Amino acid sequence: MFCPFYQMGLCQFLQTSQESEKYDSWAVVTGPTAGIGKGFAFELARKELNLILVGQNPEKLKDVSDLILAKFGKTQIKTVVVDFTSDLDDGVRKLRETIEGLEVGILINNVGISYPYARFFHEVDEELLKNLIKVNVEGTSKATQAVLPGMFQRKRGAIVNIGLGAAIVIPSDPLYVVYAATKYIYQFSRCLYVEYKKNGIDVKYQVELYVTTKMESIKRSSCFVPSTNGYAQAAMHWIGYGPRCIPYWPHAILWTLAYALPESVVDSWRLGFCLGIRKRGQLKYSRKKE
């Protein structure tokens, strides 16, 4: 029987950390100005990797670059402004130009968007629908396509795809239908892992549950809800081990609990939970309009 805690959590304690020196000296991070992406940027700099930060807001890219340089002064940082909801072809062209001649060893695919708050599928407007697909599917695919050829040529590299726990841990994610469906990254990662493992490229799907991010609307960390820095530290530790993991081991306990319950029970709980988020979100947005 498949046991998420054993497979994803407890067995990881028996492994030793892969050294970042196994890969080349540059790392690309998408969505690095906040949340998990920002945590990864700091952890990569701590490991003495140089950074290419890819994000939408040039001012926020500069701010996070300055913060990293203040703490890790030897880090080389390049920034690439890409609006993942707009002309991706132009953004990917800029990314290719920036990494040309650089030995990029690690790609962190972190960029992604969700709903402003939970809503039924018929309430999802055209703009939100388009952006969810554009950012979560096309953005991740094209960023990978830009960086992968160099890794393939050098026969080494690591691609880390940050995945949504709701897309794999629980049987459904009602009121976040498009978000859960567009987080297709597990199958994308697994197929890439099989395709490129023999070429020295490690592709990892990292399962994220709740973390203290703006997207999750959680401000305080706890045992089961790590800070973004705590999550990134755990995630860095498992780069290079197999196609899938839960880097923060208490999340594996939650997965095991969800796995042990009947799907109908989890579905019912999740629907009620998301209906509560929808109600609070509607109230918040109605107050903003007043």
Each of the 290 residues of the chain gets a pLDDT tens digit; together they read: 345 554 454 445 445 445 555 788 999 999 999 989 999 999 999 999 999 999 999 999 999 999 999 999 999 999 999 999 998 999 999 999 999 999 999 999 999 999 999 999 999 999 999 999 999 999 999 999 999 999 999 999 999 999 877 777 888 899 999 998 876 788 899 999 999 999 999 999 888 776 776 655 566 666 667 787 888 888 888 787 778 888 777 778 887 888 889 999 999 999 999 999 999 999 988 887 76
Q: What tokens appear for 184 in the block? A: 């297709």
196 is catalytic: no
Q: Which of 179, 196, 205, 248 is catalytic?
A: 179
Token look-up 């709740």 returns 210
Nearest to 285 by CA among 119, 114, 111, 112: 119
Over its C-alpha atoms, the chain yields an Rg (Å, rounded) of 19
pTM over 0.85, yes/no: yes
| Confidence at residue 120, expressed as pLDDT on a 0 to 100 scale | 97
| Confidence at residue 84, expressed as pLDDT on a 0 to 100 scale | 94
Query: CA-to-CA distance for 51 and 143, rounded, in angstroms?
Result: 15
| Confidence at residue 257, expressed as pLDDT on a 0 to 100 scale | 84
